[in-house]
Chain A
Amino acid sequence: MAELCTNPSEISLGKLFSAVLKRDLLLSFRRKSDLVNPLIFFLMVATLFPLGVSPEPDFLADVAPGVVWVAALLATLLSLDGIFRSDYDDGTLEQVILSPQPLMVVCLAKVIAHWMTTGLPLALMSPLLGVMLFLPASAMFGLVTSLLIGTLVLSLVGAIGAGLTVGLKRGGVLISLLVLPLYIPVLIFGSGAVQAAVAGLPLTGYLALLGAMLALGMVLAPLAISAAVRISVSG
């Protein structure tokens, strides 16, 4: 984080980005439980459905795209609060705002780090859940790709909610109220992609729409995230 406090002329945006990314990744690898908890949650939610609804393979294969996507969405949602929480508590966030570096780049790096520690492992683990829920093997590619793109959008949008609620003592339920309506379109097209893959239809349309959301989120979300963080920290 020392890079943050130097003169803006001495550090390029790329260096700033990679420095923040490296720091956040290092911090989350030091706390392994935070890294593993969303994955266990993901696995457990997916286990609830066969036990709670019906263990019939045909039925499970039908609902598998939606169940895996909803489980991934909830796992991301639960981990959102951690994006800014510890930095807010120990005052790092305030220092970042005071520093001459653009807050937007720092926020984007933090979101990417969050995605690499939650969304990426979730997407890589999703075939396991697919097998548990009898998803046909032909749909695995669609499942992993749609989750890879989709969870990044979820992290970007969710960080806006995390930024808005980081100043509050109990932001837990509030953050889901703020973020879930914005998650619905991602869920629709994400699970739509998997359902298309199950039916043997072309995936490209769904993936293109998810990609468009990702492009929009990458460009606009950092603006909203940095505004939200600034409001929460400076009041």
Chain B
Amino acid sequence: MAVSKWIPRWFYQLASPRWCYDITGKLLPVFLVAAALLLLVGLVWALAFAPPDYQQGNSFRIMYIHVPSAILAQSCYMLMAVAGAVGLIWKIKVADMVAFACAPIGASIAVMALATGAIWGKPTWGSWWVWDARLTSMLILLFLYLGVMALYAAMDNETMAAKAASVLSLVGLVNIPIIKYSVEWWNTLHQPATFSLTEKPSMPIEMWLPLLVMVLGFYCFFAVSLMLRLRNEIIRRERRSGWVRELITSR
């Protein structure tokens, strides 16, 4: 294998189920500790120390769950589509497994984003749900996750299911820019984007920093649950190979 100077060796090794299992096994504790620390610090900071909003009082604090989960639900979909594309193009088994592991996690995070949004919407907008562009496109994201999961469940042949689900998730990718820009293209109750790389945050820094910590914590938590699912899936699909047998008999 021609190893390029710029890409480290472990990156290539990720493509092999066995190495991927080992590498994620080493990364897992790191991310577990990071997720626990970040979420704990972020939650305490957000719920106890961040200043209350001058209009919404304390009800705005659900934002610290809502915004990270909404961001993560979209990132997870993109990861699923990219992993699916990698699996389709280079026929890498691990990429298929990543895409497979992403779907249920993403669906549950999308449910969390919608649910916390509804709980937040009741005191601030006066209704659980409004049919505006951001909420509808987020609901479509959830439906797309459910469609991908249904496709996985319907096909017995794993390679075929992976290919089919990848095509579907790539097609569904058109929804991501719609979610992102829905608050700019249409008049909506939902406020514009919270995070931006180019502009100053629209909220005071002492409210914004705990949010940043929460977002990072959510990403670490996602990494942990993805790796757990991925490792399970590797073991399940590679159950006939020698190294898995050794692993299991050695326990």
Residues of A within 8 A of B (CB): 157, 160-161, 164-165, 167-168, 171, 174, 177-178, 180-182, 184-185, 188, 216, 224, 227-228, 231-232, 235
Q: Shortest beta-carbon distance, A212 to chain B, in Å?
A: 12
Count how many pairs of residues, one from A and one from B, have CB atoms less than 8 Å apart in the complex. 58
Q: Tell me the bound Cα distance from A231 to B146 in angstroms.
A: 20
Minimum CB–CB distance for B184 against chain A, Å? 16
Could you tell me the distance in whole angstroms from the C-beta of A117 to the nearest C-beta in chain B? Answer: 24
A11–B155 alpha-carbon span in the complex (Å): 37
Tell me the dominant secondary structure on chain B's binding face. helix
B140, B151, B157, B167: which contacts A174 (Cβ < 8 A)? B151
| Alpha-carbon distance between A128 and B175 when the two chains are bound, in angstroms | 34
Q: Is the CB of B171 within 8 A of A224?
A: yes
Interface of chain A: mostly helix, strand, loop or mixed: helix
A164 to B163, CA, bound (A): 9
Nearest residue (CB) in B for A227 is: B167
B38 to chain A, nearest CB (A): 32
Interface pair A181/B144, CB less than 8 Å apart: yes
Say yes or no: is B154 at the interface (Cβ < 8 Å to chain A). Answer: yes
Residues of the A chain whose Cβ atoms lie less than 8 Å from the Cβ of B150 = 174, 177-178
Known: A178-B168, A185-B140. 14 other contacts (CB 8 A): A157-B171, A164-B151, A171-B154, A177-B143, A181-B172, A182-B144, A182-B172, A184-B136, A188-B136, A227-B88, A228-B167, A232-B164, A235-B157, A235-B160
B104 lies within 8 A of chain A by Cβ: no
Q: Which of B144, B157, B167, B174 has the most CB of A within 10 A?
A: B167
| 20 examples of A-B residue contacts, CB within 8 angstroms | A168-B154, A174-B150, A174-B151, A174-B154, A177-B146, A177-B147, A180-B143, A184-B140, A185-B140, A185-B178, A216-B174, A224-B167, A224-B171, A228-B167, A231-B160, A231-B163, A231-B164, A235-B157, A235-B159, A235-B160
Specify the chain B residue showing the minimal Cβ separation from A170: B154
CB contacts (< 8 Å) of A160 on chain B: these are: 167-168, 171
Enumerate chain A residues within 8 angstroms of B172, measured Cβ to Cβ.
181-182
Query: What is the chain B residue whose CB lies nearest that of A234?
Result: B160
Q: Chain A residues near B155 (CB, 8 Å)? A: 168
Rounded to whole angstroms, the CA-CA distance of A165 and B153 in the bound complex is 12
Residue B119 CB within 8 A of the other chain: no
B187 to chain A, nearest CB (A): 14
Given A167-B160, A178-B147, A184-B136, do A231 and B167 touch, yes or no (CB 8 Å)? yes
Most chain B CB within 10 A, of A182, A188, A216, A228, is at: A182
Do A164 and B140 have beta carbons less than 8 Å apart? no
A residues in contact with B171, CB < 8 Å: 157, 160, 182, 224
Across the interface, which residues of B come within 8 angstroms of A164, CB to CB?
A: 151, 164, 167-168
Assuming A184-B136, A184-B140, A231-B160, is B167 touching A178 (CB within 8 A)?
A: no
